[in-house]
Amino acid sequence: AQSVTQLDSHVSVSEGTPVLLRCNYSSSYSPSLFWYVQHPNKGLQLLLKYTSAATLVKGINGFEAEFKKSETSFHLTKPSAHMSDAAEYFCVVTDSGTYKYIFGTGTRLKVLA
């Protein structure tokens, strides 16, 4: 069965410092993995996706994620945090042939001035 574990419910960083949001997944087959961001009172916006091409995926706003099959991880990183990055981030998994996305519980990122 598919599942996603986001290892931190809250992360605080100072503006200009690196961001690391951790995600581990469980999947039976060949997964597709996504990171979505949700700003307050907004819908979900796709940051990046992994679909079995390059293991290092680049997304919008300077975010990256690396797919590591041996560690079943898909951690999200950014070299330098900006105040506008403060939001809730969701790691999502789906399998080929399925019809739904499985969301993690979310990580709330706080960026300190």
Partner 1 sequence: DAGVTQSPTHLIKTRGQHVTLRCSPISGHKSVSWYQQVLGQGPQFIFQYYEKEERGRGNFPDRFSARQFPNYSSELNVNALLLGDSALYLCASSLTTPGTPNTEAFFGQGTRLTVV
Binding site for partner 1 (CB under 8 A): 32, 34, 36, 42-46, 49, 51-52, 90, 94-106
43 vs 113, beta carbon nearer partner 1:
43
63 vs 90, beta carbon nearer partner 1:
90
- The least CB distance from residue 68 to partner 1, in Å, is 20
H or E stretch covering 38: strand 31-38
* Residue 106 Cα to chain centre, angstroms: 9
14 vs 46, beta carbon nearer partner 1:
46
Of 49, 47, 51, 99, the residue nearest 78 (C-alpha): 47
- The least CB distance from residue 113 to partner 1, in Å, is 25
Say which amino acid occupies 99: Y
46 vs 112, beta carbon nearer partner 1:
46
CA–CA distances in Å: residue 19 to residues 8, 14, 47, 56, 62: 12, 9, 14, 16, 11
- The least CB distance from residue 80 to partner 1, in Å, is 26
